[in-house]
Structure 1
């Protein structure tokens, strides 16, 4: 009897445990949540997060390195080329976090491709384009970084190896090629379901319009050209079995196969919504003094615009004592200059600060390509289109004499190649205003525009070639970190990344 009783008790206990386990599973399941995120739910939040991060880091880091802004505080020294390792952590974390979402957009869409013909391909392409964009920001900032094993924490890969930048770029180009192919021939696609009542935040026309797909395709290919130009000094095959220069030539010669931006209206701009959500400006909560009162615009920035009579100066810079006045970047220790012009406070809520890549930048890429003989065409034609588009991008009218009698801006056929490159890069510099780290990246590539070096500048007077790897990466992924450093060189600001060597 006792044995039977024990058996009965055991059976009851097993049943109770199973019932409890089932109950706990039910309790842990949120009936109002989806089990797996859909691509359309990831797109806008992830895109906005990257753009928001890019704007604030441009404000804090790029604009000092590139001599847009100079702090009037001895403790803020990036304009003197002093960038500490702990300044890398928030940038690295923000980019890698959203890179996971862009990879998921692609993978989720690809998993449903057979079941949703015509619906998945756009999200696969968009995921690739945004992943390529974010990855380029990461690798251009640090060089060799985790890539093939990155973003796999759910697979318990917590110490990914660092891929060589050359291989990362090859895969970036593969993804942009695939994106172009996926979007070719698509006439319509519903990027958002009806019950979500929201649109693609970047190219948000009607939910079933083909226009947004055409513009996404042009964005992807324009980005492709930006990145091909960045590695154009390398002579090894990098895209489609071709060198970067060969691929640039093939793309520009094939506008039907590789459509690119053709007007300002097609630019990739996540237009911010000021103080209002959902695309609230990252500066909406800043006091005016926090945004524009901590320093002044640089002499190079202000004087170059003023000498050219550039209409953008009035909407970017304030006057001091009734005139525009910049201050020295890289001033000596203990020699803080008098306050000069600063940002116009209206820029805090400016929708155009959400610029990712615009039509004017593309024209300057083509102008450089034509100047160097990579493509057919007159570089002056592309340059003039770029200058006009850059001014009109800001809702302004280009002065009538800007491209003819204005010696600071007008193209001179008799100028040397170096002088022509300076013209292109000066105008490209202003086109890239507040566009993540692009001014810094382009200066590293071309050493233009020619920036004056202040007496207080450190790092041997050389523009930093990269940032330090984040402190958390150095400690939590030490083995992979040390391997990358041994391959690249010292983990310092002077080590050139692959495309600079």
Structure 2
């Protein structure tokens, strides 16, 4: 960040000096060298759309491997499931991509609409989206630039301080509270520039309270009282429970890449574009842990999300699905027989990207009920509603190809009842194992939930040459550029939080 603005200022100075020197040659120099198509002030609506695209697109796909959904025999592509030391710096990409894109963009939107009472909804929705973007970032890295982030151009802050995650959480929750309260259905909205809800203020309010529930529950181990306070406030405000209210970014699936589902685009380009089961450039397949779980539990989602190319065509038969081991280091002779994502569901470029699902709300409500923080429904009812919503959402993602019948859903639930006679830990394991299956493919959110709860009880892949001593990592590494360009702030952060290591736990991730 610092380097970019240095270059910008140097270029500006050179251009200014050149203009002065040539003033005697032509008095129309400035006019002749001004781009007639450029604007001096950004349009908040356009920037908001871009911030939504970038915020949704900036995800660490390597976490699909970490949460043991996918793997690869290729060490480079397999970092997420193998934690290979030589590829450790790939974990910094979310940080590097966020600040010049969605963080900077949503900051510009907020500046552009602040102070205008008529634009209260635009401000509120921008604040909510800013919390979403920052929450994903801080949950990956812990302490990050927050209060001074994105102020290089406006305030010449090229080396922003890293705020403590505890303080970031306090501010994000306060922002959600204020933004949700300020929404006014009678005022103007972003309209069609809002790729999630089309400006629907009632749905934005549910999204805000759903994020509040997520962040509140994140604090259960580090500050149970605060967790309860924010979770109950969120529940009272009203969270996403209906399929129609699911927060999702829509994509058209054609034209420029920004118009295509970013997860599907990434997976297709890295591995699955040929759809033959053998020409996978980076050697990716579903991991055996995930496929075995789905098969063992006769999960109706398996044929929806998975195919195997045994005869040159896509076969969705559940009995034929097979996951690949994360311990492979070379391409196996039977590589074609392993399962991979289905082209017209998970790899559909025109499918929406779910940002917050009804399933997640229900699973968190099930835990809240288990803790005695929620009396609106039993833990059993919320747990079952979570499973049902998680299965229905595949129709939201892929239409008819993702549809799971009501009978299939009810049959699955009948054989997967919450064991209310079990211990708190046993019921938590059931709830959050279903969270793992139900929130897929949002591996980043599952990674955060796994670190908080310990579920599902994944066994680490102790691959030769891994960076963690055979343990599932707890956070991502800061970019090397931060050590060089923001040295003082970087050093202060690690002095407070702990070493810039995969095994350093962030504030809310307590044992």
Shared fold (TM-score, shorter chain, > 0.5): yes
Contact 1:106–1:126 (8 Å) recurs in 2: no
CA offset digits 1:420-439 (Å, max 9, x no partner) = 21221122112222226111
Matched, 1:53 2:37: no
Matched, 1:233 2:212: no
Report the CA distance shift for 1:22/1:122 in structure 2 as closer, same or farther (over 3 A): farther
| Partner residue in 1 for 2:165 | 165
1:80 CA drift (Å) = 1.8
Contact 1:425–1:449 (8 Å) recurs in 2: yes
The answer for unaligned runs of 5 or more in structure 2 is 1-19, 311-316, 396-402
DSSP 3-state at the match of 2:285 = strand
Matched, 1:430 2:430: no
Contact 2:51–2:106 (8 Å) recurs in 1: yes
Scaled by the length of structure 2, what TM-score is found? 0.82
Higher-Rg structure is 1
Among residues 436, 443, 447, which one is paired with 2:450 in the alignment?
443
Matched, 1:304 2:287: no
Trace 1:153-232 onto structure 2 (pairs within 5 A). 153-154=152-153, 155-183=155-183, 185-192=184-191, 198-204=192-198, 212-232=200-220
The answer for unaligned runs of 5 or more in structure 1 is 1-14, 193-197, 205-210, 237-241
Matched, 1:279 2:268: no
Matched, 1:325 2:322: yes
Report the CA distance shift for 1:405/1:227 in structure 2 as closer, same or farther (over 3 A): closer
DSSP 3-state at the match of 2:125 = helix
Contact 1:403–1:411 (8 Å) recurs in 2: no
Among residues 339, 342, 364, which one is paired with 1:341 in the alignment?
339
| Partner residue in 2 for 1:239 | none
Separation in 2 of the partners of 1:101 and 1:288? 28
1:287 CA drift (Å) = 5.1
1:394 CA drift (Å) = 1.0
| Partner residue in 1 for 2:361 | 362
DSSP 3-state at the match of 1:355 = strand
1:290 CA drift (Å) = 4.3
Provide the aligned length of Structure 1 versus Structure 2: 456
Separation in 1 of the partners of 2:451 and 2:413? 28
Runs of 4+ aligned residues of structure 1 deviating over 6 Å after TM superposition are: 15-22
Scaled by the length of structure 1, what TM-score is found? 0.84
DSSP 3-state at the match of 1:454 = coil
Report the CA distance shift for 1:435/1:27 in structure 2 as closer, same or farther (over 3 A): farther
Contact 2:92–2:476 (8 Å) recurs in 1: no
- Single out whichever of 142-151 and 45-54 deviates more from structure 2: 45-54
1:398 CA drift (Å) = 4.4
| Partner residue in 2 for 1:42 | 47
Contact 1:50–1:94 (8 Å) recurs in 2: no
1:403 CA drift (Å) = 4.7
Separation in 2 of the partners of 1:302 and 1:407? 21
Separation in 1 of the partners of 2:84 and 2:333? 19
- Single out whichever of 360-369 and 444-453 deviates more from structure 2: 444-453
DSSP 3-state at the match of 1:500 = coil
Among residues 277, 284, 304, which one is paired with 1:295 in the alignment?
284
Contact 2:477–2:501 (8 Å) recurs in 1: yes
1:380 CA drift (Å) = 0.8
